[in-house]
Amino acid sequence: MLILPMPAAFQKGEPADCKINKQLARVTWVGNSLYFAFEDGRRERRVILSAVKEGACIVFRCAHLGCEASDYVEPMPGIICMKPSSAYKVPSGDDDRC
């Protein structure tokens, strides 16, 4: 899961610069997804699971790369985790299944 805080002024359709794992990226919010364009040419789409305004930020919680919202469940309000039945192969030490 990717958690990305952005300034509250960040709006749909407008690109903004950010850092993901210390790599510069340009992010654009389109519909229910965030699209990232990295300096090295990689491009990624992450499905937004939640977007919550917290003070001067919007905090996005996004699915793992290649996953959809249907791969996740919210067992309690504000708690999002991957369904145990998800076929996604989680990297070692990065498992957020229920």
The one-letter amino acid at 48:
I
**8 Å CB contact between 97 and 83:** yes
Ordered by where they begin, the domains of the chain are 2-65 (2.20.25)
Residues 36 and 26: their CA atoms lie apart, in Å, by: 6
Going residue by residue through the chain, which has 98 residues, state the pLDDT in tens, using 9 for 90 and above. 888 999 999 999 999 999 888 889 999 999 999 999 988 898 999 999 999 998 999 999 988 888 888 888 877 777 777 776 665 555 545 545 44
Two tokens at 94?
């990065």
Query: Half-sphere exposure of 1 toward its Cβ, with a 13 Å CA cutoff?
Result: 21
Two tokens at 71?
């791969």
Two tokens at 79?
């708690």
